[in-house]
Amino acid sequence: EAGVAQSPRYKIIEKRQSVAFWCNPISGHATLYWYQQILGQGPKLLIQFQNNGVVDDSQLPKDRFSAERLKGVDSTLKIQPAKLEDSAVYLCASSLWSSQFTEQFFGPGTRLTVL
Amino acid sequence: AQSVAQPEDQVNVAEGNPLTVKCTYSVSGNPYLFWYVQYPNRGLQFLLKYITGDNLVKGSYGFEAEFNKSQTSFHLKKPSALVSDSALYFCAVRDLNQAGTALIFGKGTTLSVSS
């Protein structure tokens, strides 16, 4: 079974530029998450999708971050404009369904450096 | 607010010795607890979870965790450490305060196993 795919793996941009990340979850997984992992910290949820609908985006900085999952499969996360403090690893995860008991499967992440 | 704490930034053990990585939690309801491992340049891998039932949970790669309700702890253990177990370990609890099923992660503990 293929895992969660993410691209690009690395991205370096200057502040005020825009950037987009792509995620393809495990086939058949209805729930998709985007987490932000700052160096030295654990991952923190940005947004959760159930199929193509948003379940939780309470921690997404909506003035600069946006995400979509139009067809309920792959997803993109965009930052516009980027700030220095956005330097982090952006992790995508998926699970079969949205349940308190179900584990999440993580992709390798995209490491973003904002100069 | 719900949270997890990993009191040790780093744990050092010799190969063949038992290992323990500590985690304590704070939740307002039933705790749903998880352990993940992160190898360099790779995403988080699920190790095990506690939902209900037996306080000793067995997981992948010979790891197990002991749930202790009175001490609000969920320590990760392995009877005999391997050099290949060296990695970053995260304890996580399901966030029951939000609409979705996101995880709240600790800051992580680096496990170093020496030969």
Give the span between the Cα atoms of A109 and B88, in whole angstroms.
15
**DSSP letter, residue A113:** E
Please tell me which residue of chain B has the smallest CA distance to A3.
Answer: B43
Instruction: Decide if B99 and A55 are in contact by the 8 Å CB cutoff.
Output: yes
Find, among A37, A66, A47, the residue nearest to B100 by Cα: A47
Compute chain B's Rg from CA coordinates.
14
What pLDDT is recorded for position A99?
78
Are the CB atoms for A90 and A107 separated by under 8 Å?
no
Structure-token pair, residue A81: 């404009």
The nearest CA of chain B is from the CA of A99 a distance in Å of 6
Residue among B46, B101, B104 whose CB faces A99 most closely: B101
Give A1's pLDDT tier (boundaries 50, 70, 90): low
pLDDT digits (tens, 9 = 90+) for B71-93: 999 999 999 999 999 999 999 99
Instruction: Decide if A103 and B46 are in contact by the 8 Å CB cutoff.
Output: yes
- Looking at residues B28-56, what average pLDDT do you find? 91
Find, among A89, A77, A95, the residue nearest to A36 by Cα: A89
Are the CB atoms for A90 and A34 separated by under 8 Å?
yes
Mean pLDDT over each residue of chain B, to the nearest integer: 93
Choose the mutation target among B103, B107, B110 for the interface with A, i.e. most A CBs under 10 Å: B103
Find, among A103, A101, A93, A74, the residue nearest to A36 by Cα: A93
Instruction: Decide if B98 and A108 are in contact by the 8 Å CB cutoff.
Output: no
Give the span between the Cα atoms of B67 and B90, in whole angstroms.
15
